[in-house]
A and B are shown apart, each in its own frame.
Chain A
Amino acid sequence: MTFLLASGDNPLGHVVDKPMYGVQAPESWSLWRLTQDTGVPVSCAVIIFSGLLVCFLLWRAARAIETGPASQGVDRYITKGRLGQFVESIVVGLRDQMLVPVMGEKDTRRYLPFLLSLFFFLLVVNLFGLMPFADIQFMLRHAFVNDDVQEFILFGGTATANLMVTGGLAIICFFVIQMHAFRELGFGGWLEHLCGGRDLVHGPKGLYLVIPIIFVVEFLGLFIKPAALAIRLFANMVGGHTLMATLLMFGLMAAKAGLGSLAIGGISVASGSFALIIFFLEIFVAFLQAFIFMFLTAVFISTMSHHDEEHAEEHAHAEAHH
């Protein structure tokens, strides 16, 4: 009952990032932090812990997946343990079913470490958001300390429900995409891509009027695409958690409305049951959004690649026509 009521007066209050209790950043940081607040957001702690955890878990998985000594015989090729098997199935599925068809063998091999690191990092951060660390800390604090502290939180919350966090990761993706574009296409090719591609630039002169429009759209697209990644992840995390918090709030609203304990209990159980269903949906969303962020990054990278096969096919067609 306590936890069912713990969502707060405003569901967003449960979702948004909060400052860590008792942790202050130097005031001199305010210039580059773009804020006068000196509090350190709790998402920073979650991100650091998630980074450590993802490194540890994947290191354990790598040890389970890697080929063992020859003394183990054929068993040395078998992945040991559930964590290793879980990671392996995800890696193989993403690589063979998702990335290779989009990026090709060569680019997949090159960007697989980055893309999979991004996926697992986001997955861990998203899943952390589903664990009620903040509520538990608050309850424990007030169970043992009798004071007026209203925001006691050291760790917890959904870091990806902070647009700054998803934006930071999107900035990394932006640079990776552009670095790939310059590496693959060169500056001229990159500029040509922004102008609509080879067919348009070297095409009929009558279409040159379209090139400035396409350039503006494509240039803005360079920033809009990563921004869309950040906003999509942020919005999905906020939306799902807000819905869950809203459902959990119904019991508290019933209590505030002065209903009887039976009604409060009934409403709490009903809304809690729905919240539980949404919780399972949120687990799926955590995987899905991590995948979408990673996969769209792969798609954006692949759009900046040479399309040798297509060009070869075009040349073949052209020669056939000649």
Chain B
Amino acid sequence: MPPRLRAGEAPSLLCGEAHDRDPIVMLASAGGEPELIKLDSLPAITAIVVFLVAFSFLAVVVWPKIVKGLDERNAKIVGEIKAAEAAQAKAKAAQAEFEKRLEEARAEADRMVRAARGEAERQAEELRSRAAKELEDMKARATQELEGAKRAALSEIHAAAATLATSVAAKILKREIQAGDQKRLVEESLSELGAR
């Protein structure tokens, strides 16, 4: 059990022989009063010389490599960014050009469709009018032919009727006809007419 301190007694490490060889105690009591600021130029000169030598080495061997590496990387990054921006601008321009051409093509297509539709309508109308005209012509021709045929038929009928009448009249004039004769004459006349 170590001795307890009395009131007002300052603690001391060197309080017993047993502690004299204790490294902790020896470290603790080493050196007496420490000098916080000691005027000794050797550390200053060592610091100056060592720093200047180290700086010379670093300035020649190390920092140029580091600065060059950082600059090259920076240039690479900046270059890549600029190239990417240029490519983006180019892509945007190309897209704008493409969209413009697409718009033009679309307008051209619309125009062509409209023109084709108009042409088709015009052609359809023309065909329709031509067909109508042809139909009218055909109709007129048919009517004309019918009229001609009618007229021919009528003239033939007139001629046949006249002939028949003449023939009937001639027969009447040759003899007095009976009721049966009249019927037979008519039939003969009709058969003659049919034979013609």
Contact = CB atoms under 8 A, between A and B. Distances in A.
Contacts of B59: 113-114, 117
Contacts of A121: 51, 54-55
Interface in A90-136: 91-92, 109, 112-114, 116-118, 121, 135
Given A48-B46, A171-B48, A114 B40 contact: no
Given A13-B34, A34-B39, A117-B58, A253 B11 contact: yes
A37 B59 CA distance: 35
Nearest to A138: B27
A152 B12 CA distance: 21
A16 interface: yes
A163 interface: yes
Interface in B115-148: none
Contacts of A67: 68-69, 72-73
A44 B40 CA distance: 11
Nearest to B72: A67
Contacts of B5: 256-258
Contacts of A17: 38, 43
B67 to A, nearest CB: 7
B65 A62 contact: yes
A143 B23 contact: yes
A67 B39 CA distance: 47
B108 to A, nearest CB: 46
A54 B54 CA distance: 8
B36 interface: yes
A63 interface: yes
Contacts of A141: 23
Contacts of A83: none
A47 B50 contact: yes
Contacts of A159: 43, 47
* Majority DSSP secondary structure for residues of B touching A: helix
A151 B43 contact: no
A2 B21 CA distance: 14
B181 interface: no
Contacts of A172: 48, 51-52
A9 B23 CA distance: 13
B54 A117 contact: yes
Nearest to A3: B24
B61 interface: yes
A240 B80 CA distance: 48
Contacts of A138: 23, 26-27
A88 interface: yes
Contact of A44 (B34, B43, B65): B43
B175 interface: no
A306 interface: no
B98 interface: no
A193 interface: no
Nearest to B39: A34
Contact of A51 (B11, B13, B29, B53): B53
Contacts of B12: 256
A114 B36 CA distance: 29
Contact of A256 (B13, B26, B41, B68): B13
Contacts of B13: 9, 252, 256
Interface string A249-267: 0001101111000000000
B44 interface: yes
A191 interface: no
| Shortest 4 CB-CB contacts between residues of A and residues of B | A142-B23, A168-B44, A168-B47, A113-B63
